[in-house]
Structure 1
Amino acid sequence: MVLSTAPITKSSDRPILDERSQKLNNFAQRHIGPNSNEIQQMLEVLGFSSLDALIDQTVPQAIRLNKSLHLPEAQSEYAALAKLKKIAAKNQVCRSYIGTGYYDCITPPVIGRNILENPGWYTAYTPYQPEIAQGRLEALLNFQTMIIDLTGLEIANASLLDEATAAAEAMSLSYGVCKKKANAYFVSRDCHPQTIDVLQTRAKPLGINIIIGDHQTFDFDQPIFGAVLQYPASDGTIYDYRAFIEKAHAEGALVTVAADPLSLTLLTPPGEFGADIAVGSTQRFGIPLGFGGPHAAYFATKEEYKRQVPGRIVGVSKDAQGKPALRLALQTREQHIRREKATSNICTAQVLLAVMASMYAVYHGASGLRAIAENIHNLTVILATGLERLGYKINSKDFFDTLRVELETSKLQAILQACQARNINLRIFDTTAVGISLDETTTTEDLIDLWQIFAATDDLPFTPEELSSPSPHFPLARQTSYLTHPVFNRYHSETELLRYLHKLETKDLSLTTSMIPLGSCTMKLNATAEMIPVTWEEFGKIHPFAPLSQTRGYQILFQQLEAWLAEITGFAGVSLQPNAGSQGEYAGLLVIHQYHESRGEAHRNVCLIPTSAHGTNPASAVMCGMKVVAVACDLDGNIDVSDLKAKAEKHSNELAALMVTYPSTHGVFEEAIQEICAVVHSHGGQVYMDGANMNAQVGICRPGDIGADVCHLNLHKTFCIPHGGGGPGMGPIGVASHLLPFLPGHVMVRSWEESIPSPQSLIPSPQHIGAVAAAPWGSASILVISWMYIVMMGADGLTEATKVAILNANYIAKRLESYYPVLYKGKNDLVAHECILDLRSLKKSASIEIDDIAKRLIDYGFHAPTVSWPVAGTIMVEPTESESKEELDRFCDALISIRQEIAEIESRKVDTQDNVLKNAPHTAESLIAGEWQHPYSREQAAYPAPWNREHKFWPAVGRIDSAFGDRNFVCSCLPMDAYSS
């Protein structure tokens, strides 16, 4: 199939070939919503003759980038896919038996096609408006129920980034709640190496002393506040940890068990042998390896720690009609509310992957999961028996899926060469032992290959049938049932699961329905061409610890993406390891901390954070052991430079960093940004720029030129990785040249092959901060999305997208300013790529709260903008460049119509309590069931705008009572009759 490279018109009134379409390639025109005529119409409303004239008045001239970005020429979708396919072909797909927490698995096609490849699932946003997110909330509740059942603990969250991060969060929770005064944390040497690496990174700035040792000989002579154990151990051994846990509890310490959830279908769950916390990865529940991610980690614990649990918890509540309804529970834990009191960063979920993992369990059920686990274990037993017949020693008699095989040093090289000839990867412990981990895809033919490798001959003295395994027997065999809820027992045929998935999908509003205008969240187009490579086997079936010689395609991808992001940001180098924006913030601050320490200034621990900064900033600073000092903003929303100078002077000797969001979260390009950076530098501090709003900078200005030393990029915002209902994300950091030696390293990347150029991000350095994620390049498989976006847009397309994002935001601000005051504007009465609308006066004039407007927008078919943040009683609107003028007008018309509905309340024509806003959103059931007793009509409630008659998105539930759910905390599935009653 050949795609035409001719300009493609987007509406009948678009010129066949104008100056803009000559300048931009066909993909950029499809990515950018408004066409040339629409752009001109919006500019006329704003009083500008051109986009450049608008940008000249919006972005301070002193920071403007007066050159084009040096990026490859834009490619068509077809050409970009072909180019990436050639790069992908340089990866070598092998059978990897490396294990270490990562396993090949089978994604049921019904899940792959209908979730992973479905924009109805992957373009949704975090369920902060739960009435229009009931589908993914139910899937996440299933996930939590699955984890609670498998671990034997009382509560679970809705996922974390990876197993190593989850272990680090468990350490932090233990540190916070343990009553014993101790700063030491015991880490079993049998934990996965990457988990130990991340724990050491997280512990250092908090002053926690990591003790790595043997749990069997640790005598508790040193006080500890907690411990983490691997189950089964990294080498495959199944240990009975009960005696250790009893001793730890006697000492007042909390114990975390990092457990493989598939093994828990056969083994006694951690909660039953005394664990306080269980963490792990659900990757092998149908999620491709992806060279390390994205995968959903889990976190389970006792209910007494529910308010200390990191991340998000989905809980059960009820709606206005008393119907069971779901929402994010205990939202007072949201870190942008707690700010400097936070102990973790809330934005650490992998929703899309948790949904997939939960549906894997729904599809297979308890018996199916057990059958998969038994088959893996039986094959492992057969493999071990055969290896022993060949004269090899297996390290342990108690194992699930992993064997440590002892070798003579002289045999290692021959075995590895034989593996290479058969495209097989083993784990190398040292010169005297290798590891073999089997998985769902393993067959008896694979066992024969492995035996022939170790036998150094194709002629084996036995057959697999001769070594058939009896039923599994473990010293800690599971006795309790799991996944008994009907949801795990109803959808085992593809027909039933397909219908269930579609039912849930229809309960969620995604970008397939309408624009999602959340400020600071950049919900732009996630183009199909960008998503296609995610499912390619050449990217999906690569183990994160595979030899670098097998990952040449990935290395090329990394090198190119790092170079392009460095060019876009103006920095000297980039690390792709942080696998979320929150991790990017954390990694960037750690780099700054390490820099100060290298200069003998480890005492610098004060982080200045303006009140206009992105909400996760204070939490990240606290996690790095820094003291947060707030900097005031003036009445126009800009950083108060005089207050900044005073705070910088006061803390000059201890100043570590300033965290600044640019453009600010108040939606303006601050004129004084270069002076602000200079002030911080003059007092010995570093400038950390939050890249959440990079969508307003690309091609127009660069953080590195402005004066920032570090900046993280939300690839799931500016560079098109979809939000997936609240994750996955990627948060790489760019740094100035003096910070390059401190970028994250990784214990599992120990050496480089001469034939492969070293990516700048992982050059071994004695000064690096250690790992911040479980995999060396984070969620590597989704980096292809951002690669495709940059390649298809090119420098001109990226720059044009930024300009149109700014245009769209100013157009909305202009259309709505006479109905809702725009709270903050820049120097020339303009906003950046988002605007804050002030709704605070409506509470006094009409008793209308911000939530009333947010819920009424649902009746019009829209997701509400960001509500009550960064200023209570306001909404922050970000339209992005991907929305057409027609969609922008539709959104503005909805808000104008709502303002007219409020005016009727203000004039007392309508009751202040029984009105369309207070009762919003209106479900179909509420309109047709029972007697209608409201003073407004059903038609007014359901079809407030003309487009609602053409296509109506119905919320699944009415307004949710979150307080009721928090008072009656439930975070696992209710009986099915609760949903049907």
Structure 2
Amino acid sequence: MREPGAYLNSFARRHIGPNQEEIDAMLGSVGLENLNALIEAAIPKNIRLNRQLDLPEAKSESEALTELRAIAKKNRVTRSFIGAGYYDCITPPVIQRNILENPGWYTAYTPYQAELAQGRLEALLNFQTMIVDLTKLDIANASLLDEATAAAEAMALCHAVVTARKTFFVADNCHPQTIEVVRTRAKPLGIDIKIDNFSRFKFDNTVFGALVQYPATDGAIYDYTEFVRQAHTAGALVVVAADILALTLLKPPGEFGADVAVGSTQRFGVPLGFGGPHAAFFATRDEYRRHMPGRLVGVSHDADGRPAYRLAMQTREQHIRRDKATSNICTAQVLLAVMASMYAVYHGPHGLRAIAKRVHSFASKLASGLSQLGFEIAHQAFFDTIRFELGEKSSREILARTERSGCNLRRLGPHSLGISMDETTTDADLEVLMAALRGANVRDFEDDKLAGTEFQIPQSTVRSSDFLMHPVFNTHDTETEMLRYLKKLESRDLSLTTSMIPLGSCTMKLNAAAEMFPISWPEISRLYPFAPDDQTAGYIEMCKQLEQWLADLTGFAAIS
């Protein structure tokens, strides 16, 4: 039995729809007495649900949060050095508080009506500028669902340009999740996927495109200049899936001839969140702009001649072109794209390069220490990820040892492991890693002192070009300046903080504060997507609950 006054504090009453007086007024206007009568009049009997839903009793906000906290505590956050496209990072508090946790940003609708969205459109133009600068390609969109999806969209672009061929090459050193998504997308399109070592692959007149990872999923840095030349000679296009932080130090894809660059902006201040949401980027050459997926922000002028932002080339998109659109995945992760762009605004080019150099320095220190322990470093050229060989030792045995020390590493083979550094890595992390690995090798490590940096990025792949030279990336490097800039942009947008929004359907809702602030809990935000199952029990429980409830609501046997 519910306590007195429970209805007043119920989640539904606080957040869903009109109050009783408004309901009565609307019913009166159509001549009906109650909601049951409305259902009788509006919904045919043959499609009504004639069973009780197997759902738990509704809860108040505080009860729901208490239950969610208990579930979240079943997650165990440890230090994950797995990499594979996901990296822990530091979200600047000024961005966390004023974007991620701010309804002025997270309740605004898709910016189809430009005059209501000038703030977000400027932030997204910053995002596009950031990607164009870092990739050195001509044009970038304002984000996609994730890196793997962006790679599949890039394959579709290549196929639209080189139409008479059916084979797409994927380098075997791409991230595993990217390979699987590309395979899935290729099947209904009738595309033949070839997976192999890029250095052995021979282009022929059946191949329309190729995908390589930069750096590779195991950390190796390769110079793809000759590979791109061979592809172009054969009439194929090349897609480079690039690490956005690495591009502050590595030669950008556009400078060695790539036709498309894709990747994730997660490590620009966006929490891990057990794998998402994170905004992907997509950049290409100007000649292919009509084949691009996603939204493009352009600069126009208003009736008085003042600069104004708007969505450009919308005839490519599904809200206009429907099934003939360049992409039918409309989720663009704009909130996360805004966060990533503001991370670049806040740190600027010098700050981003300093973060990247620090990450590479830690990777170099660790590689040096691993060498002293007797492990073989598989690649001498790397940015943040080291692959090392264990000799006769089992990788599963070593993984069990490091997990007991609170560190997750990546198994790359029966006798090889990978370790990735990130923005949050400290000297203490290196000490824990070395202590966990000591004794698991051919000879003991004499002391805890790591040798100096021996590993350098090859000169042929070192970046020499400038990036982020626009004033917006060189002005707001104090919290006061950043706060004022964010508030200025927020004030130029219409959100549910000021008005109901007379557009759309899928986002016409207020995400309640009680629903939103758990995303900042470390048990939710800092959990790595490929962490062992015994560390993710809370997320698994939430997913199973949601799958069960959705299956019951929809009548399907199962929901993914």
Show the counterpart of 1:309: 292
Whether 2:146 is the aligned partner of 1:162: answer yes
Residue 43 (structure 1) shift: 1.3
Amino acid at match of 2:321: R
Whether 2:550 is the aligned partner of 1:565: answer yes
Show the counterpart of 2:78: 94
Q: For the residues of structure 2 that align with 1:311 and 1:78, how far apart are their CA atoms?
A: 39
Amino acid at match of 1:206: L
Show the counterpart of 1:49: 33
Amino acid at match of 2:404: A
Amino acid at match of 1:197: E
* Cα deviation code 1:118-143 (max 9, x no counterpart): 00000001001111100010000000
Residue 346 (structure 1) shift: 5.3
Show the counterpart of 2:267: 284
User: The residue matched to 2:129 in structure 1 has which SS?
Assistant: helix
Q: For the residues of structure 1 that align with 2:336 and 2:277, how far apart are their CA atoms?
A: 7
Whether 2:382 is the aligned partner of 1:399: answer yes
Amino acid at match of 2:538: G
Residue 543 (structure 1) shift: 1.2
Whether contact under 8 Å (1:25, 1:74) holds in the other structure is no
Q: For the residues of structure 2 that align with 1:26 and 1:233, how far apart are their CA atoms?
A: 50
User: The residue matched to 2:379 in structure 1 has which SS?
Assistant: coil
User: The residue matched to 1:410 in structure 2 has which SS?
Assistant: coil
Where do 1:182-331 residues align within 5 Å? 182-221=165-204, 223-331=206-314
Q: For the residues of structure 1 that align with 2:37 and 2:398, how far apart are their CA atoms?
A: 67
* Cα deviation code 1:794-827 (max 9, x no counterpart): xxxxxxxxxxxxxxxxxxxxxxxxxxxxxxxxxx
Whether 2:444 is the aligned partner of 1:446: answer no
Residue 40 (structure 1) shift: 1.5
Q: 1:469 to 1:512 in 2, by over 3 A?
A: farther
* Cα deviation code 1:285-321 (max 9, x no counterpart): 0011111100000000001111111011101111111
Where do 1:797-836 residues align within 5 Å? none
Larger Rg: 1
Amino acid at match of 2:295: R
Residue 5 (structure 1) shift: 6.3
Whether 2:155 is the aligned partner of 1:171: answer yes
Q: For the residues of structure 1 that align with 2:213 and 2:453, how far apart are their CA atoms?
A: 29
1:74 to 58, 69, 93: 58
Where do 1:512-911 residues align within 5 Å? 512-575=497-560
Q: For the residues of structure 1 that align with 2:253 and 2:314, how far apart are their CA atoms?
A: 28
Residue 448 (structure 1) shift: 1.3
Q: 1:273 to 1:56 in 2, by over 3 A?
A: same
Residue 464 (structure 1) shift: 4.0
Q: For the residues of structure 1 that align with 2:292 and 2:379, how far apart are their CA atoms?
A: 35
Q: 1:429 to 1:470 in 2, by over 3 A?
A: closer
Whether contact under 8 Å (1:102, 1:284) holds in the other structure is yes
Q: For the residues of structure 1 that align with 2:20 and 2:318, how far apart are their CA atoms?
A: 41
Q: For the residues of structure 1 that align with 2:204 and 2:26, how far apart are their CA atoms?
A: 72
Where do 1:429-440 residues align within 5 Å? 429-440=412-423
Whether contact under 8 Å (2:372, 2:445) holds in the other structure is no
User: The residue matched to 1:225 in structure 2 has which SS?
Assistant: strand
Q: For the residues of structure 2 that align with 1:462 and 1:231, how far apart are their CA atoms?
A: 34
Q: For the residues of structure 1 that align with 2:421 and 2:378, how far apart are their CA atoms?
A: 16
* Cα deviation code 1:820-840 (max 9, x no counterpart): xxxxxxxxxxxxxxxxxxxxx
2:489 to 492, 497, 504: 504
Show the counterpart of 1:7: 5
Show the counterpart of 2:352: 369
Residue 475 (structure 1) shift: 3.4
Where do 1:144-163 residues align within 5 Å? 144-163=128-147
Residue 366 (structure 1) shift: 0.3
Residue 432 (structure 1) shift: 0.9
Amino acid at match of 1:160: L
Q: For the residues of structure 2 that align with 1:468 and 1:328, how far apart are their CA atoms?
A: 47
TM-score (norm. length: structure 2): 0.96
Residue 25 (structure 1) shift: 6.0
User: How many equivalent pairs are there?
Assistant: 557
* Cα deviation code 1:838-880 (max 9, x no counterpart): xxxxxxxxxxxxxxxxxxxxxxxxxxxxxxxxxxxxxxxxxxx
Whether 2:431 is the aligned partner of 1:485: answer no
Whether 2:137 is the aligned partner of 1:139: answer no
Amino acid at match of 2:160: G
* Cα deviation code 1:445-489 (max 9, x no counterpart): 111111112213898424446435688664311000000000000
Q: For the residues of structure 2 that align with 1:403 and 1:295, how far apart are their CA atoms?
A: 24
User: The residue matched to 1:525 in structure 2 has which SS?
Assistant: coil
Q: For the residues of structure 1 that align with 2:501 and 2:461, how far apart are their CA atoms?
A: 49
2:87 to 92, 99, 103: 103
Where do 1:30-49 residues align within 5 Å? 30-49=14-33
Whether contact under 8 Å (1:335, 1:342) holds in the other structure is yes
User: The residue matched to 1:367 in structure 2 has which SS?
Assistant: helix
1:422 to 405, 422, 438: 405
User: The residue matched to 1:326 in structure 2 has which SS?
Assistant: strand
Residue 60 (structure 1) shift: 1.1
User: The residue matched to 2:310 in structure 1 has which SS?
Assistant: strand
Q: For the residues of structure 1 that align with 2:175 and 2:246, how far apart are their CA atoms?
A: 16
Whether contact under 8 Å (1:382, 1:464) holds in the other structure is no
* Cα deviation code 1:675-718 (max 9, x no counterpart): xxxxxxxxxxxxxxxxxxxxxxxxxxxxxxxxxxxxxxxxxxxx
Q: For the residues of structure 2 that align with 1:148 and 1:75, how far apart are their CA atoms?
A: 47
Residue 84 (structure 1) shift: 0.9
Whether contact under 8 Å (2:344, 2:473) holds in the other structure is yes
Amino acid at match of 2:192: N
Report sequence identity in percent. 62
Q: For the residues of structure 2 that align with 1:497 and 1:480, how far apart are their CA atoms?
A: 26
Residue 408 (structure 1) shift: 2.7
Residue 494 (structure 1) shift: 0.5
Q: 1:219 to 1:457 in 2, by over 3 A?
A: closer
Whether contact under 8 Å (2:205, 2:235) holds in the other structure is no
Amino acid at match of 1:559: K
2:327 to 344, 369, 379: 344
Residue 418 (structure 1) shift: 1.8
Q: 1:304 to 1:450 in 2, by over 3 A?
A: same
Q: For the residues of structure 1 that align with 2:342 and 2:399, how far apart are their CA atoms?
A: 38
Higher relative contact order (CA 8 A, sep 6+): 2
Amino acid at match of 1:566: A
User: The residue matched to 1:305 in structure 2 has which SS?
Assistant: helix
Q: Which moved more, 1:511-520 or 1:261-270?
A: 511-520
Q: For the residues of structure 2 that align with 1:414 and 1:33, how far apart are their CA atoms?
A: 55
User: The residue matched to 1:574 in structure 2 has which SS?
Assistant: coil
Q: For the residues of structure 2 that align with 1:518 and 1:175, how far apart are their CA atoms?
A: 34
Q: For the residues of structure 1 that align with 2:231 and 2:300, how far apart are their CA atoms?
A: 37
Q: Gapped runs of 5+ residues in structure 1?
A: 9-20, 576-981
Q: For the residues of structure 2 that align with 1:336 and 1:27, how far apart are their CA atoms?
A: 33
Show the counterpart of 1:828: none
Residue 203 (structure 1) shift: 0.5
Show the counterpart of 1:824: none
Q: For the residues of structure 2 that align with 1:201 and 1:471, how far apart are their CA atoms?
A: 37
Q: For the residues of structure 2 that align with 1:339 and 1:413, how far apart are their CA atoms?
A: 48
* Cα deviation code 1:931-950 (max 9, x no counterpart): xxxxxxxxxxxxxxxxxxxx
